[in-house]
Amino acid sequence: MAEACENTLAEAVPPRRAPRVTYRGGGAAWALAEAGTLAVFGFGAGAQEMEDPRYLRIELECFDAPGPLEVWQVDAPVEHGCDGAVRWARGGGWLFAGIELDESDHGGPRATARHAYEELRCVVGAHAERHVLRVWNYLAAINQGEDDAERYKLFCDGRAAGMGDFFADGFPAATAIGHHGARPVLQVYLLACDQPGERVENPRQVSAWRYPRQYGRTPPSFARAMALPAADVLAISGTAAVVGHASTHADDLHAQLAETFTNLDTLLATAGMAEGFDTHSPLKAYVRHPADAAQVREFIARRLPGVPVLLLHGDICRRELLVEIDGWRYA
């Protein structure tokens, strides 16, 4: 009965208009003062600090100085607030929620991730926008530790524990990247909606939640992409040179970039968006070695001229991977 009611409701509601995601210069206060601003992100140690719950200073340095802001905007009034450590904003059927936890207060990446996801789950569950579509995770020293004790793998354990059965119907699209910030903070933020999206997997890749045991006790909990409940918008998870479940082209930046683009093209084709990226499709490239940044920028500019790209210094969760790309594809 409850399900029948939900279906009727879903049919009555027209597709949502996706939030616009842009990179731009200027101050965060201006962006926050604009109508419909759901979230604003600054990048790196030089970015401003702001009290507004819609603002997060991400612990990843941008290779362009001064780095731009990332701004999410909806065509509706936005209300915002804080619930414990979670900061949130909602409007037009969309919800932003974010949390930043210091590991020294929680005891390592596993307990911190668990706590972060429990808190987020609580806040999301209390709103009508309970369908989590996309999550970003930034973790200090992600590759430190050996085998099952590697910090990324501990994070994966804690994330799964904190998620509980909230994602029993399927995981959101996600990114998990290592930062070099001064403080050992875990930053997690998400986009949710009052309507569900559609998960998209990459036929060239084993789904992450089915990765074999060699990658850790708890396979990573994410979908490769999520088609938003808005026409022709795809949220793309962190994508790297993984084929099947194996990393390819260790130590070869150019070959990893080429493989990553084959994965991105395959994802778009699988989602029925074969026309590809356009100039409204903001991407992020996470680059492990600062010396590689210029080459990454050139490669992407050649493949996707005119597409906005934010180049960030970040560590990919597998040591042999040099670069990872995520972002959006808009109609």
Q: Note the residues at the interface with ligand 3EB (CB under 6 A).
A: 137, 174-176, 208, 220, 222, 237-238, 240, 242, 317
Active-site choice (61, 119, 129, 324): 324
CA 130 to CA 327: how far, in whole Å? 22
Residue 78 or 296 having the CB closest to ligand 3EB: 296
Q: How far is the CB of 198 from ligand 3EB (least distance, A)?
A: 18
Residue 95 or 174 having the CB closest to ligand 3EB: 174
**Active-site residue flag, 100:** no
Q: How far is the CB of 135 from ligand 3EB (least distance, A)?
A: 7
CA 132 to CA 194: how far, in whole Å? 9
Residue 91 or 162 having the CB closest to ligand 3EB: 162
Instruction: Indicate the DSSP class of residue 328.
Output: E
Q: How far is the CB of 125 from ligand 3EB (least distance, A)?
A: 21
Neighbouring C-alpha atoms within 13 Å toward the C-beta of 28: 22
Torsion of CA 75, 81, 82, 86, to 10 degrees: -10
Q: Which residues 6+ apart lie within 8 Å of 126 measured at CB?
A: 83
Q: Which residues 6+ apart lie within 8 Å of 200 measured at CB?
A: 223, 224, 225, 226, 227, 234, 267, 270, 271
Tokens of 150: 């590697």
Q: How far is the CB of 25 from ligand 3EB (least distance, A)?
A: 28
Residue 208 or 309 having the CB closest to ligand 3EB: 208
Return the active site residues: 324
